[in-house]
A = this chain, B = another copy of it.
């Protein structure tokens, strides 16, 4: 009888991405032995990997987090279940989220900089990674603290069918604003109007964004929640009303080194006395419960919905990451492994 040691399949970062699509050659897929646990540690079997635009930045360079080291496991949020434990707080069978990476098994200790959180019983893994996860909370605090939509405001959301944008657009609708979602393709725009029940959708792949904004926001845009940057940001800058707020959440158009990511119309901020402010969800950690409570209430009232795009198989991690930069996902992109 031979003993087969348990194996952890993982993706490591082999080289940093060049401008353009992220090539398979950036990654290496390998089998490594499972680590043994020290006192205080626990072992998580990952179930769903989370895919987020910010991962490209982590691969490229130091940002608000140090760059992923070459040879290191690709950093990613994930959900999973504790399957072995030497930590009384994280018992076997507990479902958790954390920065577990592109691998089947991860070790935690509950004192990570990005702390392992226990998923409440009533919450699915998919919801924990999306509406109650970093993307849903990003939507909540970006709207609550920066974009600040008011009753009767006109609010624009770009990337409106994505994980963050889809929640942000609905929050603005719940706050009484007229909401214009910008997304790519008929399918996403139909979802925005029919499922997310926002007022207007602009299909940037098939419509003239500038012309549609003029039609749909004749009095100007009071708040803009931007996930895209580049040309779309530049068009919205030209349509700002007085004292408008731009919540700069992400710039997916620029993440691939696209020359079009530059903007020219920022002087419109002066003419309209407006502001453009960046934010990161990690700063809001002390207030996460406030966000989760509000989002759970709206969900339970049927005023908020969310979508999760589930791909399958850890071998497809690089391909799944490319989906979000190609705009293939509707809602939150995850990979079941």
Contact = CB atoms under 8 A, between A and B. Distances in A.
Interface stretch (A32-40, A191-199, A211-219, A277-285): A277-285
A248 B266 contact: yes
Contacts of A262: 262-264
B280 A270 contact: yes
B272 A278 contact: yes
Contacts of A266: 229, 233, 248, 251, 263, 266, 276
B283 A278 contact: no
A271 B229 CA distance: 14
Q: How many copies does the complex hold?
A: 2
A111 B123 CA distance: 64
Contact of A270 (B233, B267, B269, B279): B279
A238 to B, nearest CB: 12
A63 interface: yes
Given A263-B262, A264-B254, A267-B254, A279 B283 contact: no
A50 interface: no
A279 B271 contact: no
B264 A264 contact: no
A164 interface: no
A3 interface: no
A261 B268 CA distance: 13
Interface centre among A250, A266, A277 (most CB of B within 10 A): A266
Contact of A275 (B63, B263, B276, B283): B276
Contacts of A254: 264, 267
Interface string A240-272: 000000001111001000000111101111111
B264 A270 contact: no
A280 B273 contact: yes
The size class of the interface chain A forms with chain B is: 20 to 34
Nearest to A280: B273
A266 B248 CA distance: 9
A274 interface: yes
Interface centre among A233, A267, A268 (most CB of B within 10 A): A267
Nearest to A272: B278
A282 to B, nearest CB: 9
Nearest to A279: B273
Interface centre among A251, A254, A262, A270 (most CB of B within 10 A): A270
A270 B276 CA distance: 10
A246 to B, nearest CB: 9
Nearest to A261: B264
A253 to B, nearest CB: 10
Contact of A283 (B64, B264, B273): B273
A270 B262 CA distance: 15
A270 B281 CA distance: 10
Q: Considering the complex of A and B, which 7 residue pairs feature the smallest CB-CB distances, nearest first?
A: A269-B278, A270-B278, A275-B277, A262-B262, A262-B264, A251-B267, A276-B276
11 contacts: A63-B271, A233-B266, A251-B267, A266-B266, A266-B276, A267-B278, A273-B279, A273-B280, A275-B275, A275-B276, A276-B276
Interface of A: 63-64, 229, 233, 248-251, 254, 261-264, 266-280, 283
